[in-house]
Structure formats: C-alpha cells, structure tokens
Amino acid sequence: MSTATVSATLQSEDCITKRGRAGKYLSFALGSEEYAIRVLKVREIVKLQHITGVPDTPSEVRGVINLRGKVIPVIDLRVKFGMQNSKYGERTCIIVVEIAGNLSGPMGIIVDEVSEVLTLADSDIQDTPDFGAGVETPYLLGLAKVRDTVKILLDIDQVLMTADLTHLSSLGNTAAAG
C-alpha cells in the first residue's frame, strides 16, 4: 500500500469518527465543569440513594445500589477525575449507563446534577486539543460549543473500562448471588 493510500485511508477513517459524534447527549455538572455523554448510553437517572460500600475497591468506587432488585456498581466521577470531593446535594444523582462489553449489566455514575439533553451537530463538536507529550485522553470524544459554554464530551465506555474498574463487572453478580 502506498503512502498516499494509507494517508487517504486514515483521513477517511478520521472523517467517519468525527461524523459519528453528532447526536443527542445528556449533559451534567461536576463542580463548575459541564460534561455530556451519549443519550443512547443512558438507561435511567435515579435520585441519590443508600450506597453499600464494598471493601478493597478503588477510591472512586462508592459501592453498589439495589435498583429494583438488581445490584449495580456506582462510581463517583468527581473522584475518578481527581476533583475536590464535596458533599452530595439535593440535585446529586446517579446516571445508570450501559457499558459496551460489560456483560454483567449497567453501572451507575454519581454526578452533581443533570443539566439537559442536547442535540449536537458535527459543526458543534471540535476535536480534543493536544495537551502535550504524555497526556492521553482516550475517554474524550471532543468538545462541544453550546451557547457561550464548552461541554466536555465523554466516551463513557472508556471512562469506566479502565484497569482499576474492570473487576467491577463481576461485582453485581457476586453481590446478587450472596
């Protein structure tokens, strides 16, 4: 394959990826920052409820909840992203998401508050800037320009499928069996 063919193939794949980012997103706040995930990944939004702690899990894993008889692991995104911890407020909630490749079921993410559902066009989304050598951002789909703000678009599969969290896929099954 020639260099021109490889270059054209890469550009074509890059265009497909960029076009694939348009669609509906659920936006939410963590501190003063606004994030968004694809609506198709969201199973439901539930009020913050009692979370049962599970020993020997990473610090961002708050534990599990019982959601209509199903045990679901819950991750605090503030802790996952290295943000300052804060008290949960009345608008704090759990977004239950479906993760690709997670055969045991959904996972919950704690957010400060859910904002709105956005419909984003390709022209609303910019690529994630290069933050320099050694800074990897595979969990970022891009940055969306919405009115006078910027929303950080997350690939929730990448956020939750890190090495520290991969063992959680069996957590719900273990707790349900016990």
pLDDT tens sequence across 148-173: 999 999 999 988 876 455 555 555 55
Instruction: Answer yes or no: is 13 within a domain.
Output: no
Domain assignment present for 11 = no
3 occurs within a structural domain: no
For 52, the enclosing helix (H) or strand (E) is: none
pLDDT averaged over the chain? 82
- Residue 160 included in any domain: yes
Domain with 69 in it: 21-177
- Is position 44 within any domain? yes
Q: Output the DSSP codes for 91-137.
A: T-EEEEE--TT-TT--EEEEESEEEEEEEE-GGGEEPPPP--TT---
Tens digits of residue pLDDT in 23-79: 999 999 999 999 999 999 999 999 999 999 999 998 899 999 999 999 999 999 999
Type of residue found at 134: G
Strand 70-76 vs strand 107-111: parallel, antiparallel, or unpaired? Answer: parallel
Does the residue 8 lie in any domain? no
Is 115 part of a structural domain of the chain? yes
Any idea what the CATH number is for the domain that residue 53 is in?
2.40.50.180
Domain count of the chain? 1
